[in-house]
Chains A and B, each alone.
Chain A
Amino acid sequence: MNSSVIVFPGSNCDRDIAVALEKFKIKNKMVWHNETNLPKSDLVVLPGGFSYGDYLRTGCIAGKSKIINDVIKHAKKGGLLLGICNGFQILTEASLLPGILLRNKKLKFISKDVFIKVLNFKNSFCSNYKDKNIIKIPIAHNEGNFFANNNLLDRLEDKNLIAFKYCDIKGDINELSNPNGSSKNIAGIFNENKNILGMMPHPERSIDPFLSSEDGSLIFKSLLK
């Protein structure tokens, strides 16, 4: 499997995701934001960070950067596209995913381990979570409060496009287990074809036994199938 990680000025999880992809034997290339052509890739990743310094709005400028045209083409052709944290924000700004990420409800940056429930296994990213659907994973963001109007929320639920919801250790999804105020506790969503996934938590930070969790590994293992 070949992947490309797009590096924007201000990206800061680009190395981490590259390390994770390589750990799971996915052949990766780093692609600079000013390029116009993607190398041949099965998977494209938009990494976390503060692309263009978060100026204007998070993800906004990156959503209009030179490389994005080719990323959109890749996705329209059915290629896999994963946006993590700032990458998720970029996906919504580039209209590849619906909804928007607002500032966290309490207006503070939140960095901690949370639990999320995996809700859809019939896709390229999450098939390996079938036997373990409540996972521990870190979040670290200031704008992770997913917002969508009721029509959109209904559509996401009806079509099974919600990838993850914040929950507690037992899997209960409620206000107490919602760290940032997201509508319906949403932590990640798919597009209709489920080849695009946007998520706020960081799977690349939970991939080995020395870290506080290894549960992120299963995303990469699922991708390899």
Chain B
Amino acid sequence: MLISKDLIKKHGLKTDEFSKIVKLIGREPNLLELGIFSAMWNEHCSYKSSKKYLKKLPTKNKSVIQGPGENAGVIDIGDNDAIIFKIESHNHPSFIEPYQGAATGVGGILRDVFTMGARPIATLNSIHFGSPEHPKTKNLLNGVVSGIGGYGNCMGIPNAGGEVKFNSCFNENNLVNAMAVGHVNKNKIFYSKAKGVNQLVVYVGSKTGRDGIHGASMASAEFDENSEDKKPTVQVGDPFTEKLLLEACLELMKGDSIISIQDMGAAGLTSSSVEMASKGNLGIEIDLDKVPCREEQMTPYEMMLSESQERMLIIIKNGDEKNAEKIFKKWDLDFSIIGKTTNTKNLDLYFHGSKVANLPITSLSTDVPIYDRKWKKTPLPKKEKNLVNYKKLKILDSLKKILSSPNNSSKEWVWEQYDNTVMGDTVQKNGGDASVIRIHGKNKGIALTVDSSSHYCFAYPQFGGMQVVCEAWRNLVSVGARPLAITNCLNFGNPEKEIVMGQFVECLNGISDACTYLDFPIVSGNVSFYNETNNKSIEPTPTIGGVGVILNLNNMVSQSLKSINSLVLVIGKTNGHMHQSELFREVCNINSGPPPEINLFNEKNNGLILLKLIEKKLIKAAHDVSSGGIILALTEMCLLGDIGAKIKINSNNLSNIEYLFAEDQSRYLVEIDEKDQKATFNILKENDIFYEMIAETKKESLDFDKEFSINLKDLKKINTDWFTKYNEIK
């Protein structure tokens, strides 16, 4: 069969890429082989636009056991305990079919974690939608939240929160980034690298159907008005089967018959077999007649490109197959020996007795083109001069407006749909700075957070990228955790556009600088380009998932105020940075200007000293100051603890509104006992930390001089009403 130009284009390949393929294999590929190339050479699987820059990121420190390149990253938290985690996007499918897209996003990332031998102990997610008024938003929000809950609840893995945001730039491209975290004994980690010739290639899990064909290629192109037609490329999930697969895999992993294991995620059987062979520098031979199929008369093309869920590929020691099969049969799962490892370094596929594909593994892995795309710098926006009107705003009115805005409203409506207490180790639930999950049976825990700030990144990508990493670091510190490492999900538009590529390069520079300085390496992640519809791209949105450790859970803190008559301090200096703040965006409708800049020395110093104060038991509550500034942070502390506060401002340089709403970085609010004042101040002074008193706690209301006093019950209502009203069934 002759491969036409049209066929090449339909497979998402460029003409010059096709010429390279012909050169690599010395002939034209057949249709099946073309499909395989399209699955491996697309942006989603190959990282061809991003690889050059990803290579420069800091990925190591003393706690990293495994950095990027495996199913997920692995860090050491002491006593033989390791944490395996990763975040991944499922943006494109979730826009086409929100429930299934989000559900399979959760399913896919969970498999990445248990493939490596870990029992998943938490999931988190960062989800972004268009403006609430946009006709699609309500349906997408409800579908995505139900999908995330539907999958995770059935799996019995607690949801540790994350973020839910709205911004009109996501009107036609929502984001669904799912993170999974697992726990494993560090001596029982499984990898995907195949070893040895003539070992058995085993297929386990669900049967292969016709769903998700070309899913990865679909996620490597922008949308247009016909995106609905792409529904068949979305996979359909079955969390029940995944739960069985999880238990069966963990049971098999107790023994030593597994040589290597890889889940079938994007590009299904194709990418799992190629990745395993490529890492082991081996060949692989598959008899497609042995692949368990859900439907009759499936073709090799469909089998190799299906993205049916809940499937794994395992290389098992020759001779151990009987024992392995017994385990999978017990859990009512398919188990089929479909091939073997070879020394040919080729992917050889057989169907009905004849060879239907024969490709060098290198042509699908190391020979994939890498692009050095052109990029353009985003100029640093200037501060608007002559802005004075905002200084006349009423503080309480502004607070109310921000507190009731979709982005700052309480997300209880969302969290309540996710099981967050299953497994009995959730010691700090979603809704705080970071969630804390106890390591089962021990007195230590891990803190987890997911953060992003698309409007900062859009305004000036380098500052934005740096800010997201620092925000994650701060959230972990706020619960008393030592930040250890991060995973990132990089959501951008079309990288073939210079401005988008520039946003990517500069966000990564900011991320890299912050990670290096804070010794906070990146151990896993993914890149999602082409978040674009009809030529309109999303704002650049790198999402950072952070993990920290609390070695003694008795030292954990939370953001809720604990008692009346204690003091609240601001740690870190407030300079009055107003551009890109919630006050400017939500209240004044000013979207221009630069995001706040970060001094990494202060960031690290403030964080580490706060940890020291926490470990010395001087801190009763802590909360980082982020969007909305001091006043929003204080209000959140009051609402969570059901304790009021009387604000007292001691700064003379700024107007009250600037002081309370500015979004300068590297700041925390902390509650301390009056008796601990001296000890706390001494440590802060010794370490050159800037601090100021901001409030005294009291009963039931938030007060500010003679300007206002408002009951917490009223504030709570303002904060929770929006979600309930928006989603009411009429």
Contacts and interface: CB of A to CB of B under 8 A. Distances in A.
Interface of A: 9-10, 12-13, 15-16, 19-20, 48-50, 52-55, 106-112, 138, 140, 142, 202, 204-205, 207, 210-212
A109 B416 CA distance: 7
Contacts, number: 85
A140 B553 contact: no
Nearest to A14: B156
Contacts of B553: 210
Nearest to A179: B416
24 contacts: A9-B332, A10-B154, A10-B240, A12-B422, A15-B423, A16-B422, A16-B424, A19-B424, A52-B240, A53-B241, A54-B154, A54-B240, A55-B240, A106-B729, A109-B417, A109-B418, A111-B153, A111-B418, A140-B419, A204-B424, A207-B424, A210-B427, A211-B421, A211-B424
Nearest to A7: B247
A50 B155 CA distance: 8
B238 interface: yes
A205 B421 CA distance: 7
B301 interface: no
A126 to B, nearest CB: 21
A50 B438 CA distance: 24
Contacts of B156: 12-13, 49-50
Contacts of A210: 427, 438, 553
Contacts of A211: 421, 424, 426-427
Interface string B407-424: 000000001111111111
A50 B240 contact: yes
B331 interface: yes
Given A50-B240, A50-B243, A13 B422 contact: yes
A64 to B, nearest CB: 16
Interface in B412-468: 415-424, 426-427, 429, 438
B640 interface: no
User: Which 7 pairs, one residue from A and one from B, show the smallest C-beta to C-beta distance?
Assistant: A12-B156, A53-B240, A140-B419, A210-B427, A138-B421, A50-B154, A16-B424
B149 interface: yes
B424 A109 contact: no
Nearest to A50: B154
Contacts of B239: 50, 53
Nearest to A53: B240
Given A12-B156, A109-B146, A140-B422, 15 more contacts: A9-B244, A10-B244, A49-B156, A53-B238, A108-B146, A108-B416, A109-B149, A109-B418, A111-B416, A111-B420, A112-B416, A138-B421, A140-B419, A204-B424, A211-B426
A5 to B, nearest CB: 14
- Is the interface on chain B under 10, 10 to 19, 20 to 34, or 35 or more residues? 20 to 34
A179 to B, nearest CB: 9
Interface in B145-188: 146, 149-150, 153-156
A19 B425 CA distance: 11
A202 to B, nearest CB: 7
A87 to B, nearest CB: 14
Nearest to A138: B421
Contacts of B243: 9-10, 12, 50
A110 B153 CA distance: 10
Contacts of A48: 422
Contacts of B240: 9-10, 50, 52-55
Contacts of A9: 240, 243-244, 331-332
Interface of B: 146, 149-150, 153-156, 238-241, 243-244, 331-332, 415-424, 426-427, 429, 438, 553, 729
A221 B314 CA distance: 45
Contact of A16 (B153, B244, B423, B429): B423
Contacts of A55: 240
Contacts of B154: 10, 12, 50, 53-54
Nearest to B154: A50
A109 B151 CA distance: 12
A13 B419 CA distance: 12
B84 to A, nearest CB: 19
Contacts of A109: 146, 149-150, 153, 416-419
A148 B352 CA distance: 58
A140 B153 contact: yes
A48 B657 CA distance: 51
A15 B441 CA distance: 12
B421 A111 contact: yes
A118 to B, nearest CB: 20
Contacts of A15: 423
Nearest to A216: B424
A168 B426 CA distance: 23
A211 B150 CA distance: 24
A163 to B, nearest CB: 20
B417 A108 contact: yes
B427 A111 contact: no
A204 to B, nearest CB: 6
Contacts of A53: 154, 238-241
B479 to A, nearest CB: 13
A12, A54, A202: most-surrounded residue (chain B CB, <10 A): A12
A205 B422 contact: yes
A212 B421 CA distance: 9
B418, B423, B424: most-surrounded residue (chain A CB, <10 A): B424
Contacts of A107: 729
A36 B415 CA distance: 40
A92 to B, nearest CB: 20
A52 B438 CA distance: 29
Nearest to B153: A109
A52 B244 CA distance: 10
B407 to A, nearest CB: 22
Nearest to A207: B424
B585 to A, nearest CB: 30
A110 B156 CA distance: 14
A48 B156 CA distance: 9
B257 to A, nearest CB: 22
A16 B157 CA distance: 12
